[in-house]
Amino acid sequence: MRRLRQAKIVATLGPASSSKEAIQALFDAGADVFRFNFSHGSHQDHQARCNIVREIERAAGRPIAILADLQGPKLRVGQFAEGRVTLLAGAEFTLDRDPTPGDVHRVCLPHPELFEVVDAGQSLLLDDGKLRLAVLGRGADRRSIRTRVVSGGVLSDRKGVNVPDVVLPIPALTEKDLRDLDFALDMGADWIALSFVQRPEDVLQARAIIGDRAALLSKLEKPAALDGLDAIVAVSDAIMVARGDLGVELPPERVPGVQKRILRACRQHGKPIVIATQMLESMIGAPVPTRAEASDVASAIYDGADAVMLSAESASGAYPVEAVRIMDRIIGEVEKDPLYRQMIDAQNQAPQPNSGDAICSALRDVTRIVGAVATVTYTSSGHTSLRAARERPTAPILSVTPNLSTARRLVLAWGVHSTVSQEVRNVDRMVAAACQAALEQGFAVAGDSIAITAGVPFGQPGSTNLLRIAQIWPVVPAAAA
């Protein structure tokens, strides 16, 4: 089942999409990557969904990627004696370390590390930014934070707390995350999404645990991450612009510009980028999106995003399959627009002074000049395919690899159509494997030309140094031969 588009769709699984029939319908509608949200559901739930995805993958004969999204260090207030309170603008409100249920004057904040860094003049945002508190100061014993309510409203048990003005001294992996990570790796997740990344060290900590068992995607949800953006992108395998918490901690008018800045950084580094959160939010309860939502998805594609993501729309909404279908249609419509190619070409980055970039830059031009119907990348680690994707060639990228794990990870990347082939040991066999894959996957017919790139010696990661043009010859039946 070949996709006739280059950008990918990530669909979150949940209560509305747990059965084999539902997941199959999402895949048939266009989902390329399935996201497992470890903020919800049990390990048993995730394992059952994983088994279904792998069953669908085997039947389709096409790699499907699984993204395990860790919850991260989500900060929350404690509980209230009556379950909720109404905070009025202008009133004083205290957050402290007393576990006693709160009231209209105070509540427990069970995160002692915050009392060390929060100070007068800063802001606290509660319940996804619906309430805003201005910090007046903290107690001498650093066990309380005095605030004044700037924007009031109803605050109930365990609502989230955002601290936009500081880098929080908390690890990116909580005890729950470590348990979930261990399970996700054993389950066979292809990508691990690390939440609330603030600095490169957060990514390196996770990398030390994950090793090469999965690829690592960093979710940018804190303004602090923007200060070290290039360094974070450099040590990550992919990036997600998680506009939920990011949109809470940043003024709304800054989010579009920040999104474009992150997109440019990822394109420069050749790292896949996923745009997420509220893309088709209204489709949680409606069969069609708003025109503004359709424009939001289209804008991400025009900007060169590798993938766009559905969250509650596919996990718990009333129209999960319809949401994937309309996203597929929006992407297809954008990619047919001549302006899209102009915008993609205008974003092209200068190649780095190394053989891999030089070859893939030449590959882009060769594909266009000779009219190749496909760009075939033979890769073991995925490096060659990712460098080719960075160039955004006009012909689709057919990635051929002997490693199923590599094929699954590459599903996330722009324009990459992943296939698994037997390992080859010489150039002639590699060219033959590329031609066979182009024929079998429907990218070429006899007489077409394809452009092929690979790294020699084969199996050595990061060694892209070969570029070939090959013509597809008719397949001669065994009897006739």
Is 290 one of the annotated active-site residues of the chain?
no
Which residue out of 76, 176, 261, 264 is catalytically annotated?
A: 76
Is 76 one of the annotated active-site residues of the chain?
yes
Say if residue 99 is exposed, middle or buried (CB neighbours under 10 Å; 0-12, 13-18, 19+): exposed
d(CA 345, CA 347): 5
Which residue out of 49, 219, 243, 392 is catalytically annotated?
A: 219
Is 368 one of the annotated active-site residues of the chain?
no
Contact between residue 207 and residue 237 where contact means Cβ atoms under 8 Å apart = no
The enclosing H or E element of 410 equals: helix 404-410
Which residue out of 12, 94, 147, 277 is catalytically annotated?
A: 277
* Nearest alpha carbon to residue 246 among 266, 262, 235, 269: 262
d(CA 256, CA 412): 22
Is 35 one of the annotated active-site residues of the chain?
yes
List the beta bridge partners of residue 134: 123, 148
Angle between helices 338-346 and 291-302 (to 10 degrees): 50
What tokens were used for 31? 């989902």
Question: Cα dist. 278→8, 157, 213, 233, 247 in Å?
Answer: 17, 24, 30, 23, 11
Question: Cα dist. 437→383, 420, 440, 472 in Å?
Answer: 19, 9, 5, 11
DSSP state, 253? G
d(CA 419, CA 286): 36
* Nearest alpha carbon to residue 65 among 410, 377, 321: 410
Cβ neighbors of 65 (< 8 A, separation 6 or more) are 32, 33, 34, 190, 191, 408, 409, 411, 412
d(CA 109, CA 146): 12
Question: Tokens 């348990």, residue?
Answer: 179
Catalytic residue IDs = 35, 76, 219, 277
